[in-house]
Amino acid sequence: MGNVCVHMVNNCVDSKSSSWVRPTDLIMDHPTKPQLQDKPPNQMLMLKDDDKPKLDTHGDPKLLEHKQTSVSNSVHRSHQEQEGNKSEEEEKRKRAIACGNSKRRAHNVRRLMSAGLQAESVLKTKTGHLKEYYNLGSKLGHGQFGTTFVCIEKGTGEEYACKSIPKRKLENEEDVEDVRREIEIMKHLVGQPNVISIKGAYEDSVAVHMVMELCRGGELFDRIVERGHYSERKAAHLAKTCHSLGVMHRDLKPENFLFVNDDEDSPLKAIDFGLSMFLKPGENLTDIVGSPYYIAPEVLNKDYGPEADIWSAGVMIYVLLSGSAPFWGETEEEIFNEVLEGELDLSSDPWPQVSESAKDLIRKMLERNPMKRLTAQEVSCHPWIRDEGNAPDTPLDTTVINRLRKFSATDKLKKMALRVIAERLSEEDIQGIREALIVIDSEKSGRVTYKELKSVLERFNANLDNSDISGLLQTPTDVHLEDTVDYEEFIRAIVRLKQLQDEDADDRLDSSAKV
Protein backbone atom coordinates (compact mmCIF):
# COMPACT_ATOMS: atom_id res chain seq x y z
CA MET A 1 0.00 0.00 0.00
CA GLY A 2 1.13 3.52 -0.71
CA ASN A 3 1.86 6.08 1.93
CA VAL A 4 -0.60 8.72 2.98
CA CYS A 5 -0.26 11.96 4.74
CA VAL A 6 -3.41 12.35 6.75
CA HIS A 7 -2.32 15.80 7.75
CA MET A 8 -2.71 18.55 10.05
CA VAL A 9 -4.96 21.45 9.80
CA ASN A 10 -8.66 21.39 10.54
CA ASN A 11 -12.14 22.36 9.78
CA CYS A 12 -15.61 22.32 11.25
CA VAL A 13 -18.06 20.20 9.35
CA ASP A 14 -18.92 23.40 7.65
CA SER A 15 -18.61 24.08 4.00
CA LYS A 16 -18.06 27.42 2.41
CA SER A 17 -16.53 29.04 -0.60
CA SER A 18 -16.93 32.08 -2.75
CA SER A 19 -16.20 35.22 -4.64
CA TRP A 20 -18.08 38.51 -4.68
CA VAL A 21 -20.86 40.30 -6.25
CA ARG A 22 -22.69 43.53 -6.34
CA PRO A 23 -25.95 44.47 -7.92
CA THR A 24 -26.47 48.15 -8.82
CA ASP A 25 -29.07 50.81 -8.38
CA LEU A 26 -29.92 49.90 -11.95
CA ILE A 27 -32.18 47.01 -11.09
CA MET A 28 -34.33 46.95 -14.19
CA ASP A 29 -38.06 46.76 -13.62
CA HIS A 30 -40.01 44.61 -16.01
CA PRO A 31 -42.68 46.72 -17.78
CA THR A 32 -46.13 45.63 -16.78
CA LYS A 33 -48.75 45.00 -19.43
CA PRO A 34 -52.02 46.94 -19.15
CA GLN A 35 -54.80 44.85 -17.70
CA LEU A 36 -57.59 44.27 -20.19
CA GLN A 37 -61.13 44.47 -18.86
CA ASP A 38 -62.99 41.31 -19.74
CA LYS A 39 -66.53 41.98 -20.82
CA PRO A 40 -69.26 39.43 -20.28
CA PRO A 41 -69.35 37.19 -23.35
CA ASN A 42 -73.11 37.59 -23.60
CA GLN A 43 -73.08 41.36 -23.22
CA MET A 44 -75.13 41.89 -26.39
CA LEU A 45 -77.92 39.80 -24.94
CA MET A 46 -78.11 41.90 -21.79
CA LEU A 47 -79.46 45.10 -23.34
CA LYS A 48 -82.26 47.03 -21.76
CA ASP A 49 -85.57 46.98 -23.51
CA ASP A 50 -85.13 50.60 -24.63
CA ASP A 51 -81.78 49.75 -26.16
CA LYS A 52 -82.98 46.76 -28.16
CA PRO A 53 -83.27 47.22 -31.95
CA LYS A 54 -86.77 48.38 -32.92
CA LEU A 55 -88.69 46.72 -35.74
CA ASP A 56 -89.09 48.71 -38.89
CA THR A 57 -92.77 48.74 -39.87
CA HIS A 58 -91.58 48.00 -43.35
CA GLY A 59 -88.99 45.49 -42.25
CA ASP A 60 -89.26 41.74 -42.19
CA PRO A 61 -89.72 40.63 -38.55
CA LYS A 62 -88.64 37.11 -39.41
CA LEU A 63 -85.42 38.39 -40.93
CA LEU A 64 -84.73 40.52 -37.88
CA GLU A 65 -85.49 37.58 -35.60
CA HIS A 66 -83.14 35.45 -37.68
CA LYS A 67 -80.37 38.05 -37.38
CA GLN A 68 -80.85 38.35 -33.63
CA THR A 69 -80.83 34.59 -33.24
CA SER A 70 -77.67 34.36 -35.37
CA VAL A 71 -75.93 36.96 -33.24
CA SER A 72 -77.02 35.17 -30.07
CA ASN A 73 -75.88 31.80 -31.36
CA SER A 74 -72.61 33.27 -32.60
CA VAL A 75 -71.86 34.85 -29.23
CA HIS A 76 -72.87 31.65 -27.45
CA ARG A 77 -70.60 29.60 -29.70
CA SER A 78 -67.79 32.10 -29.12
CA HIS A 79 -68.27 31.79 -25.38
CA GLN A 80 -68.29 28.01 -25.63
CA GLU A 81 -65.15 28.08 -27.76
CA GLN A 82 -63.41 30.35 -25.25
CA GLU A 83 -64.41 28.10 -22.39
CA GLY A 84 -63.40 25.09 -24.42
CA ASN A 85 -60.02 26.63 -25.20
CA LYS A 86 -59.51 27.42 -21.51
CA SER A 87 -60.40 23.87 -20.56
CA GLU A 88 -58.15 22.50 -23.27
CA GLU A 89 -55.27 24.73 -22.18
CA GLU A 90 -55.80 23.74 -18.55
CA GLU A 91 -55.89 20.09 -19.54
CA LYS A 92 -52.69 20.52 -21.55
CA ARG A 93 -51.05 22.21 -18.59
CA LYS A 94 -52.05 19.38 -16.27
CA ARG A 95 -50.83 16.79 -18.76
CA ALA A 96 -47.54 18.64 -19.13
CA ILE A 97 -47.04 18.75 -15.36
CA ALA A 98 -47.93 15.09 -15.03
CA CYS A 99 -45.66 14.25 -17.94
CA GLY A 100 -42.83 16.28 -16.42
CA ASN A 101 -43.25 14.58 -13.07
CA SER A 102 -43.43 11.22 -14.77
CA LYS A 103 -40.29 11.93 -16.79
CA ARG A 104 -38.49 13.11 -13.68
CA ARG A 105 -39.51 9.99 -11.78
CA ALA A 106 -38.50 7.85 -14.74
CA HIS A 107 -35.19 9.71 -15.00
CA ASN A 108 -34.51 9.13 -11.32
CA VAL A 109 -35.48 5.49 -11.65
CA ARG A 110 -33.15 5.10 -14.64
CA ARG A 111 -30.32 6.66 -12.66
CA LEU A 112 -31.03 4.48 -9.69
CA MET A 113 -31.25 1.37 -11.80
CA SER A 114 -28.11 2.25 -13.76
CA ALA A 115 -26.29 2.57 -10.45
CA GLY A 116 -27.54 -0.81 -9.33
CA LEU A 117 -29.51 0.74 -6.50
CA GLN A 118 -32.04 -1.95 -5.89
CA ALA A 119 -33.08 -2.42 -2.26
CA GLU A 120 -30.14 -2.29 0.18
CA SER A 121 -27.62 -2.65 -2.63
CA VAL A 122 -25.21 0.20 -1.85
CA LEU A 123 -23.95 -1.25 1.42
CA LYS A 124 -24.44 -4.81 0.15
CA THR A 125 -25.80 -5.83 3.55
CA LYS A 126 -29.18 -5.21 5.09
CA THR A 127 -29.16 -2.53 7.78
CA GLY A 128 -31.72 -1.16 10.15
CA HIS A 129 -33.24 2.26 9.58
CA LEU A 130 -31.16 5.14 10.95
CA LYS A 131 -34.16 6.59 12.78
CA GLU A 132 -34.63 3.36 14.69
CA TYR A 133 -31.43 4.11 16.58
CA TYR A 134 -30.84 7.87 16.32
CA ASN A 135 -32.68 11.17 16.51
CA LEU A 136 -31.43 13.77 14.04
CA GLY A 137 -30.42 17.18 15.38
CA SER A 138 -29.05 20.38 13.88
CA LYS A 139 -27.26 20.65 10.56
CA LEU A 140 -23.47 20.80 10.83
CA GLY A 141 -22.39 21.24 7.26
CA HIS A 142 -23.03 20.63 3.60
CA GLY A 143 -20.80 19.18 0.91
CA GLN A 144 -21.08 18.36 -2.76
CA PHE A 145 -22.55 14.91 -2.18
CA GLY A 146 -24.09 15.04 1.28
CA THR A 147 -25.20 16.90 4.37
CA THR A 148 -23.96 16.32 7.91
CA PHE A 149 -26.19 16.52 10.99
CA VAL A 150 -25.83 16.00 14.70
CA CYS A 151 -27.49 12.72 15.67
CA ILE A 152 -28.29 11.46 19.16
CA GLU A 153 -28.18 7.76 19.94
CA LYS A 154 -31.53 6.81 21.48
CA GLY A 155 -30.12 4.18 23.81
CA THR A 156 -27.32 6.24 25.35
CA GLY A 157 -27.99 9.90 24.57
CA GLU A 158 -24.50 10.16 23.05
CA GLU A 159 -24.03 12.68 20.24
CA TYR A 160 -22.48 11.76 16.90
CA ALA A 161 -22.16 13.25 13.44
CA CYS A 162 -24.29 11.74 10.66
CA LYS A 163 -23.33 12.27 7.03
CA SER A 164 -26.26 11.55 4.70
CA ILE A 165 -25.63 10.94 0.99
CA PRO A 166 -28.79 11.02 -1.18
CA LYS A 167 -29.01 8.09 -3.57
CA ARG A 168 -30.25 10.34 -6.36
CA LYS A 169 -26.74 11.82 -6.51
CA LEU A 170 -25.25 8.40 -7.18
CA GLU A 171 -25.67 8.57 -10.93
CA ASN A 172 -23.63 5.54 -11.94
CA GLU A 173 -21.84 2.49 -10.60
CA GLU A 174 -18.66 4.51 -10.08
CA ASP A 175 -20.49 6.83 -7.66
CA VAL A 176 -21.80 3.84 -5.75
CA GLU A 177 -18.30 2.40 -5.52
CA ASP A 178 -17.03 5.74 -4.19
CA VAL A 179 -19.48 5.56 -1.28
CA ARG A 180 -18.60 1.94 -0.56
CA ARG A 181 -14.90 2.78 -0.67
CA GLU A 182 -15.26 5.76 1.68
CA ILE A 183 -16.96 3.55 4.27
CA GLU A 184 -14.44 0.76 3.75
CA ILE A 185 -11.51 3.17 4.18
CA MET A 186 -12.95 4.65 7.37
CA LYS A 187 -13.42 1.16 8.79
CA HIS A 188 -9.84 0.34 7.75
CA LEU A 189 -8.59 3.41 9.67
CA VAL A 190 -10.51 2.71 12.88
CA GLY A 191 -8.13 3.05 15.80
CA GLN A 192 -5.85 5.60 14.14
CA PRO A 193 -5.49 8.41 16.71
CA ASN A 194 -5.70 11.24 14.19
CA VAL A 195 -8.57 9.96 12.05
CA ILE A 196 -12.24 10.45 12.81
CA SER A 197 -13.91 7.18 13.89
CA ILE A 198 -16.90 5.67 12.12
CA LYS A 199 -19.55 4.08 14.34
CA GLY A 200 -21.82 2.58 11.72
CA ALA A 201 -23.45 2.88 8.30
CA TYR A 202 -27.14 2.68 7.43
CA GLU A 203 -29.15 2.62 4.25
CA ASP A 204 -32.77 3.31 3.39
CA SER A 205 -34.65 3.89 0.16
CA VAL A 206 -33.54 7.52 -0.02
CA ALA A 207 -29.97 7.78 1.28
CA VAL A 208 -26.87 6.19 2.76
CA HIS A 209 -25.99 7.44 6.26
CA MET A 210 -22.58 7.31 7.98
CA VAL A 211 -22.55 7.81 11.75
CA MET A 212 -19.20 9.11 12.99
CA GLU A 213 -17.41 10.60 15.94
CA LEU A 214 -18.54 14.19 16.58
CA CYS A 215 -15.79 16.82 16.75
CA ARG A 216 -16.83 19.96 18.63
CA GLY A 217 -13.44 21.64 19.02
CA GLY A 218 -13.59 23.76 15.89
CA GLU A 219 -11.05 24.56 13.24
CA LEU A 220 -7.33 24.89 13.73
CA PHE A 221 -7.17 28.40 12.26
CA ASP A 222 -10.08 29.52 14.43
CA ARG A 223 -8.41 28.20 17.56
CA ILE A 224 -5.09 29.87 16.80
CA VAL A 225 -6.75 33.20 16.02
CA GLU A 226 -9.00 32.98 19.06
CA ARG A 227 -6.18 32.21 21.50
CA GLY A 228 -3.81 34.65 19.88
CA HIS A 229 -0.53 32.78 20.21
CA TYR A 230 1.29 29.63 19.21
CA SER A 231 4.80 28.48 18.49
CA GLU A 232 6.67 26.42 15.91
CA ARG A 233 6.69 23.54 18.37
CA LYS A 234 2.90 23.64 18.57
CA ALA A 235 2.71 23.79 14.78
CA ALA A 236 5.09 20.83 14.55
CA HIS A 237 2.93 18.86 16.97
CA LEU A 238 -0.13 19.57 14.82
CA ALA A 239 1.80 18.64 11.70
CA LYS A 240 2.71 15.29 13.17
CA THR A 241 -0.55 13.75 11.98
CA CYS A 242 1.40 12.31 9.05
CA HIS A 243 1.05 8.55 8.83
CA SER A 244 1.58 5.60 6.51
CA LEU A 245 -1.98 4.37 6.20
CA GLY A 246 -2.05 2.69 2.82
CA VAL A 247 -4.61 5.18 1.50
CA MET A 248 -4.49 8.59 -0.15
CA HIS A 249 -6.69 11.30 1.30
CA ARG A 250 -6.48 13.52 -1.83
CA ASP A 251 -8.11 16.55 -0.21
CA LEU A 252 -5.85 17.57 2.66
CA LYS A 253 -6.67 21.13 3.69
CA PRO A 254 -7.51 23.01 6.91
CA GLU A 255 -11.24 22.43 6.44
CA ASN A 256 -10.73 18.68 6.67
CA PHE A 257 -9.15 18.62 10.13
CA LEU A 258 -11.09 19.14 13.36
CA PHE A 259 -10.34 19.29 17.06
CA VAL A 260 -12.36 16.78 19.07
CA ASN A 261 -13.11 19.25 21.89
CA ASP A 262 -12.10 22.61 23.39
CA ASP A 263 -9.32 21.22 25.60
CA GLU A 264 -5.86 22.68 25.09
CA ASP A 265 -4.48 19.23 24.29
CA SER A 266 -7.46 18.09 22.20
CA PRO A 267 -6.64 15.54 19.49
CA LEU A 268 -6.76 16.76 15.89
CA LYS A 269 -8.71 14.49 13.55
CA ALA A 270 -8.70 14.06 9.78
CA ILE A 271 -12.20 13.96 8.30
CA ASP A 272 -13.91 13.56 4.92
CA PHE A 273 -12.51 10.54 3.13
CA GLY A 274 -14.87 10.93 0.18
CA LEU A 275 -12.00 11.32 -2.29
CA SER A 276 -9.64 8.85 -0.61
CA MET A 277 -8.23 5.85 -2.43
CA PHE A 278 -6.52 2.58 -1.67
CA LEU A 279 -3.44 2.76 -3.84
CA LYS A 280 -1.21 -0.11 -4.91
CA PRO A 281 2.57 0.42 -5.23
CA GLY A 282 3.40 1.93 -8.60
CA GLU A 283 -0.22 2.84 -9.32
CA ASN A 284 -0.94 6.43 -10.37
CA LEU A 285 -4.15 8.45 -10.67
CA THR A 286 -5.25 10.92 -13.34
CA ASP A 287 -8.41 12.69 -12.16
CA ILE A 288 -8.04 16.25 -10.88
CA VAL A 289 -9.40 16.55 -7.34
CA GLY A 290 -8.58 18.70 -4.33
CA SER A 291 -8.68 22.37 -3.36
CA PRO A 292 -6.87 25.12 -5.30
CA TYR A 293 -4.38 26.40 -2.69
CA TYR A 294 -3.44 22.88 -1.58
CA ILE A 295 -3.41 20.94 -4.84
CA ALA A 296 -0.11 19.41 -5.97
CA PRO A 297 1.36 20.25 -9.40
CA GLU A 298 1.34 16.62 -10.54
CA VAL A 299 -2.41 16.46 -9.84
CA LEU A 300 -2.89 19.34 -12.29
CA ASN A 301 -0.73 17.36 -14.73
CA LYS A 302 -3.03 14.33 -14.25
CA ASP A 303 -0.35 11.85 -13.19
CA TYR A 304 0.11 11.46 -9.44
CA GLY A 305 0.48 9.13 -6.49
CA PRO A 306 0.54 9.39 -2.69
CA GLU A 307 3.23 12.09 -2.84
CA ALA A 308 0.44 14.58 -3.63
CA ASP A 309 -0.72 14.38 0.01
CA ILE A 310 2.79 15.39 1.16
CA TRP A 311 2.59 18.53 -0.97
CA SER A 312 -0.80 19.47 0.51
CA ALA A 313 0.54 18.93 4.03
CA GLY A 314 3.54 21.13 3.20
CA VAL A 315 1.21 23.92 2.09
CA MET A 316 -0.61 23.70 5.43
CA ILE A 317 2.65 23.98 7.39
CA TYR A 318 3.58 27.00 5.27
CA VAL A 319 0.24 28.66 6.05
CA LEU A 320 0.57 27.85 9.77
CA LEU A 321 3.98 29.50 10.00
CA SER A 322 3.37 32.52 7.75
CA GLY A 323 -0.37 33.16 7.70
CA SER A 324 -0.53 33.09 3.90
CA ALA A 325 -0.54 30.57 1.07
CA PRO A 326 2.75 29.78 -0.72
CA PHE A 327 1.13 29.99 -4.16
CA TRP A 328 -1.49 32.68 -4.37
CA GLY A 329 -3.78 34.11 -7.05
CA GLU A 330 -7.03 36.00 -7.42
CA THR A 331 -8.65 33.23 -9.48
CA GLU A 332 -8.32 29.46 -9.68
CA GLU A 333 -6.44 29.78 -12.96
CA GLU A 334 -3.92 32.17 -11.39
CA ILE A 335 -3.49 29.88 -8.38
CA PHE A 336 -2.91 26.84 -10.60
CA ASN A 337 -0.33 28.74 -12.67
CA GLU A 338 1.52 29.66 -9.47
CA VAL A 339 1.37 26.06 -8.22
CA LEU A 340 2.92 24.89 -11.48
CA GLU A 341 5.53 27.62 -11.96
CA GLY A 342 5.57 30.10 -9.06
CA GLU A 343 8.62 30.68 -6.87
CA LEU A 344 8.48 29.49 -3.26
CA ASP A 345 9.07 32.49 -0.97
CA LEU A 346 10.92 31.65 2.24
CA SER A 347 12.80 34.94 2.58
CA SER A 348 10.31 37.79 3.06
CA ASP A 349 8.58 38.49 6.38
CA PRO A 350 7.94 36.57 8.57
CA TRP A 351 10.36 33.90 7.28
CA PRO A 352 13.58 35.47 8.65
CA GLN A 353 12.19 34.76 12.14
CA VAL A 354 11.28 31.14 11.33
CA SER A 355 13.79 28.39 12.07
CA GLU A 356 15.97 26.98 9.29
CA SER A 357 14.76 23.50 10.21
CA ALA A 358 11.14 24.44 9.47
CA LYS A 359 12.10 26.03 6.16
CA ASP A 360 14.15 22.95 5.23
CA LEU A 361 11.13 20.72 5.80
CA ILE A 362 8.85 22.97 3.76
CA ARG A 363 11.30 23.08 0.83
CA LYS A 364 11.48 19.29 0.77
CA MET A 365 7.70 18.86 1.04
CA LEU A 366 7.02 21.45 -1.66
CA GLU A 367 9.48 19.92 -4.11
CA ARG A 368 7.73 19.96 -7.51
CA ASN A 369 9.30 16.68 -8.58
CA PRO A 370 7.30 14.08 -6.63
CA MET A 371 10.16 11.57 -6.96
CA LYS A 372 12.42 13.93 -4.97
CA ARG A 373 9.77 14.92 -2.44
CA LEU A 374 9.89 13.56 1.12
CA THR A 375 7.78 10.50 1.91
CA ALA A 376 5.37 10.43 4.85
CA GLN A 377 7.91 8.39 6.81
CA GLU A 378 10.67 10.89 6.08
CA VAL A 379 8.44 13.77 7.14
CA SER A 380 7.71 12.00 10.44
CA CYS A 381 11.45 11.55 11.02
CA HIS A 382 12.42 15.12 10.17
CA PRO A 383 14.10 16.94 13.12
CA TRP A 384 11.49 19.71 13.09
CA ILE A 385 8.60 17.22 13.41
CA ARG A 386 9.97 14.79 16.00
CA ASP A 387 8.83 15.19 19.62
CA GLU A 388 12.42 15.67 20.72
CA GLY A 389 13.11 17.78 17.65
CA ASN A 390 14.40 21.30 17.26
CA ALA A 391 11.19 23.27 16.64
CA PRO A 392 11.46 26.42 18.81
CA ASP A 393 8.87 27.02 21.52
CA THR A 394 9.09 30.79 21.08
CA PRO A 395 5.72 32.36 20.15
CA LEU A 396 5.48 33.38 16.51
CA ASP A 397 5.16 37.06 15.64
CA THR A 398 1.68 38.57 16.01
CA THR A 399 1.74 39.52 12.32
CA VAL A 400 1.47 35.81 11.53
CA ILE A 401 -1.69 35.60 13.65
CA ASN A 402 -3.12 38.64 11.90
CA ARG A 403 -2.33 37.25 8.47
CA LEU A 404 -3.81 33.91 9.42
CA ARG A 405 -6.94 35.67 10.65
CA LYS A 406 -7.27 37.50 7.35
CA PHE A 407 -6.52 34.37 5.29
CA SER A 408 -9.21 32.44 7.15
CA ALA A 409 -11.76 35.25 7.55
CA THR A 410 -11.68 36.33 3.91
CA ASP A 411 -12.44 32.82 2.74
CA LYS A 412 -15.20 32.39 5.31
CA LEU A 413 -16.79 35.72 4.46
CA LYS A 414 -16.92 34.77 0.82
CA LYS A 415 -18.37 31.36 1.58
CA MET A 416 -21.00 32.73 3.95
CA ALA A 417 -22.08 35.33 1.41
CA LEU A 418 -22.24 32.72 -1.30
CA ARG A 419 -24.36 30.39 0.80
CA VAL A 420 -26.86 33.03 1.91
CA ILE A 421 -27.24 34.55 -1.54
CA ALA A 422 -27.67 31.17 -3.24
CA GLU A 423 -30.34 30.20 -0.71
CA ARG A 424 -32.39 33.36 -1.17
CA LEU A 425 -32.08 34.38 -4.81
CA SER A 426 -33.74 33.00 -7.92
CA GLU A 427 -31.85 32.33 -11.13
CA GLU A 428 -33.33 35.54 -12.56
CA ASP A 429 -32.08 37.49 -9.54
CA ILE A 430 -28.59 36.07 -9.94
CA GLN A 431 -28.54 37.06 -13.61
CA GLY A 432 -29.73 40.53 -12.62
CA ILE A 433 -26.87 40.79 -10.13
CA ARG A 434 -24.37 39.88 -12.82
CA GLU A 435 -25.75 42.49 -15.20
CA ALA A 436 -25.66 45.09 -12.44
CA LEU A 437 -22.03 44.26 -11.69
CA ILE A 438 -21.06 44.65 -15.31
CA VAL A 439 -22.59 48.14 -15.29
CA ILE A 440 -20.75 49.13 -12.11
CA ASP A 441 -17.45 47.72 -13.36
CA SER A 442 -16.78 50.78 -15.52
CA GLU A 443 -13.14 49.84 -16.10
CA LYS A 444 -14.12 46.35 -17.31
CA SER A 445 -11.58 44.78 -14.98
CA GLY A 446 -13.84 41.91 -13.94
CA ARG A 447 -13.34 42.87 -10.29
CA VAL A 448 -15.16 44.90 -7.63
CA THR A 449 -14.15 46.00 -4.14
CA TYR A 450 -15.65 44.78 -0.87
CA LYS A 451 -16.88 48.34 -0.35
CA GLU A 452 -18.75 48.22 -3.65
CA LEU A 453 -20.09 44.78 -2.75
CA LYS A 454 -21.36 46.10 0.57
CA SER A 455 -23.02 49.07 -1.09
CA VAL A 456 -24.68 46.95 -3.75
CA LEU A 457 -26.00 44.29 -1.38
CA GLU A 458 -27.51 47.01 0.79
CA ARG A 459 -29.45 48.25 -2.24
CA PHE A 460 -30.34 44.86 -3.64
CA ASN A 461 -33.33 43.73 -1.61
CA ALA A 462 -34.51 40.71 -3.60
CA ASN A 463 -35.37 38.14 -0.93
CA LEU A 464 -32.68 39.43 1.45
CA ASP A 465 -33.82 41.17 4.63
CA ASN A 466 -31.71 43.58 6.67
CA SER A 467 -30.58 40.96 9.18
CA ASP A 468 -29.31 38.77 6.35
CA ILE A 469 -27.38 41.64 4.81
CA SER A 470 -25.89 42.83 8.10
CA GLY A 471 -24.84 39.30 9.04
CA LEU A 472 -23.45 38.81 5.56
CA LEU A 473 -21.35 41.94 5.73
CA GLN A 474 -19.69 41.65 9.13
CA THR A 475 -16.38 42.29 7.46
CA PRO A 476 -13.39 41.20 9.59
CA THR A 477 -11.13 44.08 10.57
CA ASP A 478 -8.24 42.52 8.68
CA VAL A 479 -10.18 42.49 5.41
CA HIS A 480 -9.79 45.88 3.74
CA LEU A 481 -12.86 47.32 2.03
CA GLU A 482 -10.70 48.25 -0.95
CA ASP A 483 -9.63 44.63 -1.50
CA THR A 484 -11.12 43.31 -4.71
CA VAL A 485 -12.84 40.13 -5.80
CA ASP A 486 -13.55 38.48 -9.15
CA TYR A 487 -17.31 38.79 -9.59
CA GLU A 488 -17.58 36.45 -12.59
CA GLU A 489 -16.02 33.67 -10.51
CA PHE A 490 -18.44 34.57 -7.73
CA ILE A 491 -21.45 34.29 -10.05
CA ARG A 492 -20.24 30.92 -11.31
CA ALA A 493 -19.85 29.70 -7.73
CA ILE A 494 -23.36 30.92 -6.83
CA VAL A 495 -24.83 29.07 -9.80
CA ARG A 496 -23.04 25.84 -8.79
CA LEU A 497 -24.19 26.14 -5.19
CA LYS A 498 -27.72 27.03 -6.31
CA GLN A 499 -27.84 23.82 -8.32
CA LEU A 500 -26.71 21.82 -5.27
CA GLN A 501 -29.36 23.45 -3.09
CA ASP A 502 -32.08 22.79 -5.67
CA GLU A 503 -31.03 19.14 -5.73
CA ASP A 504 -31.17 19.06 -1.93
CA ALA A 505 -34.71 20.45 -2.05
CA ASP A 506 -35.64 17.60 -4.40
CA ASP A 507 -34.01 15.14 -2.01
CA ARG A 508 -36.08 16.47 0.90
CA LEU A 509 -39.26 16.11 -1.15
CA ASP A 510 -38.32 12.56 -2.12
CA SER A 511 -37.47 11.76 1.49
CA SER A 512 -40.67 13.18 2.95
CA ALA A 513 -42.72 11.37 0.36
CA LYS A 514 -41.28 8.04 1.49
CA VAL A 515 -41.48 8.54 5.24
Banded pLDDT at 417 (limits 50, 70, 90)? low
At 66 the pLDDT is 43
Average pLDDT of the residues in 224-242 = 72
At 382 the pLDDT is 92
**Domain range annotation of the chain:** 218-401, 407-514
Kindly list the catalytic residues.
251
Average pLDDT, the chain: 71
**Pair type for strands 134-142 and 268-270:** unpaired
Residue 40 in this model has a pLDDT that exceeds 50: no
Decide: 271 and 11 in contact? Cβ < 8 Å: yes
Residue-wise pLDDT tens digits, 293-309 = 999 999 999 999 989 99
Banded pLDDT at 20 (limits 50, 70, 90)? very low
Banded pLDDT at 274 (limits 50, 70, 90)? confident
At 201 the pLDDT is 95
Average pLDDT of the residues in 189-211 = 91
Please list, residue by residue across 356-373, b when 16 or more beta carbons sit within 10 angstroms of its beta carbon and e when fewer do. Answer: ebbbebbebbbbeebeeb
Banded pLDDT at 50 (limits 50, 70, 90)? very low
The number of helices, as runs of H, and strands, as runs of E, in the chain is: 15, 12
How many Å apart are CA 425 and CA 1, to the nearest integer?
A: 47
CATH 1.10.510.10 given to domain 218-401:
yes
**163 annotated as belonging to a binding site for a ligand:** yes
Residue 394 in this model has a pLDDT that exceeds 60: yes
Radius of gyration of the chain (CA): 31
How many Å apart are CA 446 and CA 489, to the nearest integer?
A: 9
Domain 407-514 belongs to what topology? Recoverin; domain 1 (1.10.238)
Residue-wise pLDDT tens digits, 434-448 = 888 788 888 888 888
At 432 the pLDDT is 78
Q: What is the pTM of this model?
A: 0.62
